[in-house]
């Protein structure tokens, strides 16, 4: 049974940093690409960042590039999202997802949002 849990969300001031964590079990963590997505109230879910199974290929949304960093520790079955220079527009529920696509098509799959989601998300709120 797949189990995923996001954590690390908090209420912070603009310019501050947070680290989100995604722990997973019930599947071969090191065989899947993983990603972070977010959904703000009244908006559609959007991709934030994703990483391939080995951790050597990443994709980022333009809005977070150079501020956020995604990583994964296959041995510990944890994925992280390091968020720096947070802005009020980063306020959203953040979810982690999995994808069986790990080749050259990962970027396309990420931008289409074609990931599987299992957890309840973790809330990030950034005030100005």
pLDDT single digits (tens) 78-108: 999 999 999 999 999 999 999 988 888 899 9
Rounded to 5 degrees, φ, ψ at 88 are: -55, -30
Radius of gyration in angstroms for the set of CA atoms belonging to the chain, rounded to a whole number: 13
CA dist., res. 24 & res. 101, Å (int):
18
pLDDT at residue number 95 = 97
Residues facing residue 5 across a β-bridge? 23
pLDDT single digits (tens) 34-57: 999 999 999 999 999 999 999 999
């Amino acid at each position: 049974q797949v189990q995923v849990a996001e954590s690390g969300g908090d209420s912070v001031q603009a310019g501050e940093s947070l680290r989100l964590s995604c722990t997973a079990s019930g599947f071969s963590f090191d065989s899947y690409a993983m990603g972070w997505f977010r959904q703000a109230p009244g908006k559609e879910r959007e991709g934030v960042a994703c990483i391939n199974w080995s951790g050597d290929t990443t994709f980022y949304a333009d809005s977070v590039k150079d501020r956020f960093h995604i990583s994964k520790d296959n041995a510990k079955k944890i994925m992280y999202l390091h968020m720096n220079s947070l802005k009020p527009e980063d306020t959203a529920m953040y979810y982690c997802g999995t994808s069986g696509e790990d080749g050259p098509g990962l970027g396309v799959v990420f931008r289409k949002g074609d990931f599987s989601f299992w957890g309840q998300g973790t809330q990030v709120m950034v005030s100005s």
